[in-house]
Amino acid sequence: MPYSAVVSSGRPAFSLPLASAMVCWAFNFVAIKLAYREVSAPAVGFVRTLATYALMVLFVAARREPLGYPRGEAWRFLWMGFVASGAYMVAFLEGMSRTSPAEASILLSTSPLFVMLLSAWAGFERLRSGTLAGAAVAMTGVAMVAAPTAKTPGHLGGNLLILLSSLVWAWGVLLAKPLSEAHSPQRVLMLSLPGALLAIAPYGWSSTVATDWTSLEPLTLWMVGYVAVFAGGLAFTLFYLGVRQVGPTGAMLHQYAVPPGAALLAWWLLGDPLRPLQLVGMVVTFAGLTWALRSRAAPGEGKEP
């Protein structure tokens, strides 16, 4: 997901495609947990990546964009895919197997913060005092959400993996920046996914083959299909359509709806309540992210990544 521009005053504040993508991604956290009842995390990851790749090939072909790699550029796409869709997905799926949907969705919302910090580290922009202060507030909220309790001692490892996946995703965003400037984001995703398979195939191939898909409950099959199709190719397509309407920063603001949506769905469908401290942490995290984002978007200072 590119985060490289600021919403202009002439753009709308709401995007129906983005809102639809957020709904898809909010339920994705619940769908993954339901799928895990019978299917392993590696198998889910492998099937999802293959399905997303197939859908993006069809989408790019329908747009009559080239399906081949630009001369001399293949390694850039493959490396970006290995990081942003391969290593990220492994850390995310393993984290999801060890924590709750609500906690995972909140912790994953830190990706815009990591994009800002890595952009500054790479020299794309200068950190402002407001950005640093907002980052500190956001990480305080993250600590509230991620803190283990006597009832959820095993969640700490999963939460750390989710945070790692958020950091890896942010790194992938920076790798995608020069590619997204020269090509459509849909084509960038399509060309990068074979690189993701370099990480996902060793991770998920044996589990996928070992799974007796014919014996799975219908609900499990529906959830795997949802993760692969709706939360994968369809949601990404909707996301990119929305970015064209409101810009990347506006897309980030839409993403704030995912954690509350995931938490409510997990409470309704899985019986996973949020602790009071985590509810406070959610508010603190979003407040810090908003502060950092607005400081970063202030006109006339620094460069956008």
2: left (phi over 0), alpha (psi -120 to 50) or beta: beta
Residue pair 262/108 in contact by the 8 Å Cβ criterion: no
Provide DSSP, 5-25.
----TTS-S--HHHHHHHHHH
In tens digits, the chain (305 residues) has pLDDT values of: 333 333 344 556 678 888 898 899 999 999 999 999 999 999 999 999 999 899 889 989 998 999 999 999 999 999 999 999 999 999 999 999 999 898 898 888 888 778 778 877 877 777 788 878 888 888 888 888 877 665 666 688 898 999 999 999 889 888 888 888 888 878 988 999 999 999 999 999 999 999 999 999 999 999 999 998 899 878 877 887 777 777 666 666 677 788 888 888 988 999 888 778 878 888 888 888 788 777 765 554 444 44
Read off the DSSP letter of residue 227. Answer: I
> 282 vs 115, 145, 184, 218, 273, CA distance in Å?
19, 7, 34, 34, 13
Would you give the end-to-end CA distance of the chain in angstroms?
13
| CA–CA dist 45, 40 (Å, integer) | 9
Within 13 A of 267's CA, how many CA atoms are on the CB side?
A: 12
Burial of 184 (0-12, 13-18, 19+ CB in 10 A): middle
> 254 vs 20, 21, 119, CA distance in Å?
10, 9, 21
Per-domain residue ranges for the chain?
Answer: 16-296
Q: Which amino acid is at 112?
A: P
User: pLDDT, tens digit, for every residue of 32-52?
Assistant: 999 999 999 999 999 999 998
> 161 vs 83, 87, 169, 297, CA distance in Å?
15, 11, 12, 29
pLDDT (0 to 100) of residue 134: 83
Q: What are the structure tokens assigned to 226, written together?
A: 């949802």
pLDDT (0 to 100) of residue 239: 80
Within 13 A of 298's CA, how many CA atoms are on the CB side?
A: 14
Give the distance from CA 264 to its chain's centroid: 19
Q: What are the structure tokens assigned to 56, written together?
A: 């993006």
Measured from the Cβ of residue 12, the count of other Cβ atoms closer than 10 Å reads 11
Residue that has been written with the tokens 């803190």 in this structure: 147
| CA–CA dist 77, 247 (Å, integer) | 23
| CA–CA dist 287, 18 (Å, integer) | 21
pTM listed for this prediction: 0.82
Read off the DSSP letter of residue 211. Answer: S
